[in-house]
Amino acid sequence: MKRVAVFGGSFDPVHVGHLTIARRLTELFQLDKFVFLPAFHAPHKPDRNPTSAYHRFAMLTIATQNDPEALVSTLELEKGQTRYSVETIPELKDIYGGAKLFFVMGADSWTDIKTWKNWEDVLTMTDHIVVSRPGYQLNVEHVTDEIRPRIVDLRGAQFDLKRSERERRSIYFTDSIFFDTSSTELREDLSDGVLDSEEDLPIEVANYIEKYNLY
Containing structural domain, residue 98: 3-178
User: Is residue 196, in this structure, part of any structural domain at all?
Assistant: no
User: Is residue 136, in this structure, part of any structural domain at all?
Assistant: yes
Q: What is the mean pLDDT of residues 91-96?
A: 96
User: Is residue 208, in this structure, part of any structural domain at all?
Assistant: no
pLDDT at 205 over 90: yes
User: Please, what is the angle between helix 203-212 and helix 53-63, to 10°?
Assistant: 150
Tally the domains of the chain. Answer: 1
User: Is residue 194, in this structure, part of any structural domain at all?
Assistant: no
Half-sphere exposure for 135 (CA within 13 Å, toward CB): 7
Q: How confident is the model at residue 181 (pLDDT cuts 50, 70, 90)?
A: confident
What φ, ψ does residue 128 adopt, rounded to 5°?
-130, 150
User: Is residue 183, in this structure, part of any structural domain at all?
Assistant: no
- Is pTM beyond 0.85? Reply is yes
Q: How confident is the model at residue 161 (pLDDT cuts 50, 70, 90)?
A: low
User: Is residue 198, in this structure, part of any structural domain at all?
Assistant: no
What is the pLDDT, as a whole number, of residue 47?
61
What is the pLDDT, as a whole number, of residue 123?
97
* CB atoms closer than 10 angstroms to residue 21: 23
The CA distance from 1 to 143, in Å, is: 30
Q: CATH code at 171?
A: 3.40.50.620
User: Is residue 16, in this structure, part of any structural domain at all?
Assistant: yes
Mean pLDDT, rounded, of the chain: 89
The CA distance from 189 to 35, in Å, is: 27
User: Is residue 211, in this structure, part of any structural domain at all?
Assistant: no
